[in-house]
A and B are shown apart, each in its own frame.
Chain A
């Protein structure tokens, strides 16, 4: 058990190092000095409080979508529809913020509530089809991502369009989330972290959370033990959608202020990637999200300093997930365990 826990930390760390190594080779191949580039990356992400604020702001939506992926997968269902739920949440939020006329704190709360409900509703579709029609929740949730993206297109090109540019009107100033210490990071980050803590508490300190994890680990055994497996599946789907929906609202009220082409694009799959690297641990997911955000923010500085394109950071992120998942499978292989025992025979006896 102790060894397993060590590996679950060690494997992602080694994967990060390997990914950076490959990243450095790519940078060198592009005739840039990897050391300078990495220094610029670090400086861009954490070099000043202002940059740190930007990094945390960028991490906020990622935290929401990775928590969304974590929660559903803890119950054994793969919610790949985080992006659609995120977008539906932001659309509902956009309507409430711009059309209801309610502003200030009640407005913000109402916006977040509307976003959560819309996200939960969007996630309920694959959840219901899963439990009543036994259908593949992954394909359906992905299809709904495309539908949500197109629906958002309708909203910003038609229904809530403002002026000649295809974008919606901005949310009123009184409904925007407050910035923390004057940085780009807003109270949305605090909401994200609080939700992460709540999920952690729910999963590991309540009996319902225990049952939910049991369903995720072994559905058949849980069913024999009289757990309402189907209800748990639907519940986990809806809650994960609610998390994504609140994330969409928070992103709209905190950072973007209007819906526009590309809003939230890719956050759903990023969330799945981060959840997998974090091995479905909600608090680890927050850290991984900050790491991903740092790569993204820092890569802009890196591009300015060394000319290495920002998409190198995407390659590094993708490699981290490829290595981590393979590494986690590797350490579970009996051959690897036997190899370790040969390597450290004394430690095992002690």
Chain B
């Protein structure tokens, strides 16, 4: 095992963890307001497609990411309206989003590109190093400088989220909505509005996580490119114990599994490559099985909130 393998593995882990960080933070904001949204996979799918198309049309990956965010918000508003205003069951509706959004994405792709078209490719977002016109040589320079804007943004967002939920009044109010909405309402917090804001943030971040895959990671869009990351992100929130720092560590771990999987496939050990591809999924199951349910998440998660009800 040479140094190159290890450094490449670490660099790839950071790249693979980034979409998971976005999607997990999306779920964190949603659950902190008492909304368990299992529709992340769908939101990321639509974000990924819209991000791909817009960056193809405008030749600007940044615009692609923004468009992916918008798409995520729009689709998540359907979820928000149904679960907040109509009090539909969150799990059930999240599932509906998971079925609806990929179908929509597949349809748009077919209509726009035709079914038998050749692979369309987009330009990926530049890394900081290439924007500055330098080629980093050693490992630390590559780790710190050879990353896209999205990676820095993801880490900034983790820090912001940690401070927001623990140190600011607004963040504590936000958490109160997830723990005990009625008590929060008696303190003058607008529960419904908080939940809608949470849904907007959730849609934006999940869409962004999806768009990362088509603007920073691969140059093409294929159906099913999210490959369960939406659900792994759900596991990351549980694994990270609903805290921003914990979620970051969980995402880095799952990102590492994903990177390891790709590296091992390349190395091959005479085993069918599918066994390596299983690693992230098996790791998720094992991690969840090991940690068990010592501490549950925000207490009002999954329960509808109705203002008139006493």
Residues of B within 8 A of A133 (CB): 288-289, 292-293
A136 to B235, CA, bound (A): 9
A253 to B284, CA, bound (A): 33
Q: Say yes or no for A319: interface residue by CB 8 A criterion.
A: yes
Mark interface residues in A322-336 (1 if CB within 8 Å of B CB, else 0).
100110111011100
Give residues 215-256 of A contacting B (CB, 8 Å).
none
Interface size on A, residues (CB 8 A): 46
A153 to B276, CA, bound (A): 12
Residues of A within 8 A of B95 (CB): 78, 80, 269, 272-273, 276
Q: Is the CB of B285 within 8 A of A146?
A: no
Residues of A within 8 A of B99 (CB): 269-270, 272-273, 317-318, 321
Q: Say yes or no for B227: interface residue by CB 8 A criterion.
A: yes
Interface size on B, residues (CB 8 A): 46
Q: Is the CB of A318 within 8 A of B103?
A: yes
Partner among B38, B107, B228, B272 whose Cβ is within 8 Å of the Cβ of A314: B107
Partner among A134, A150, A270, A273 whose Cβ is within 8 Å of the Cβ of B96: A273
Residues of B within 8 A of A312 (CB): 107
Mark interface residues in B277-289 (1 if CB within 8 Å of A CB, else 0).
1100110110011
Residues of A within 8 A of B232 (CB): 143
Q: Say yes or no for A260: interface residue by CB 8 A criterion.
A: no
B310 to chain A, nearest CB (A): 12
Residues of B within 8 A of A269 (CB): 95, 98-99
A211 to chain B, nearest CB (A): 23
Q: Say yes or no for B26: interface residue by CB 8 A criterion.
A: no
Q: Say yes or no for A198: interface residue by CB 8 A criterion.
A: no
Q: Is the CB of B288 within 8 A of A321?
A: no
Q: Is the CB of A322 within 8 A of B96?
A: yes
Residues of B within 8 A of A158 (CB): 272
A319 to B308, CA, bound (A): 30
Residues of A within 8 A of B100 (CB): 318-319, 321-322
Q: Say yes or no for A154: interface residue by CB 8 A criterion.
A: yes
A109 to B231, CA, bound (A): 36
Q: Say yes or no for B117: interface residue by CB 8 A criterion.
A: no
Residues of A within 8 A of B93 (CB): 325-326, 329
Q: Say yes or no for A9: interface residue by CB 8 A criterion.
A: no
Q: Say yes or no for A129: interface residue by CB 8 A criterion.
A: yes
B299 to chain A, nearest CB (A): 15
Q: Is the CB of B284 within 8 A of A143?
A: yes
Residues of B within 8 A of A157 (CB): 272, 274
Known A-B contacts: A135-B292, A143-B282, A321-B99. Give 5 more (CB < 8 A).
A133-B289, A134-B293, A140-B289, A315-B103, A322-B96
User: 6 shortest A-B CB distances, which residue pairs?
Assistant: A329-B88, A134-B293, A318-B100, A318-B103, A150-B274, A314-B103
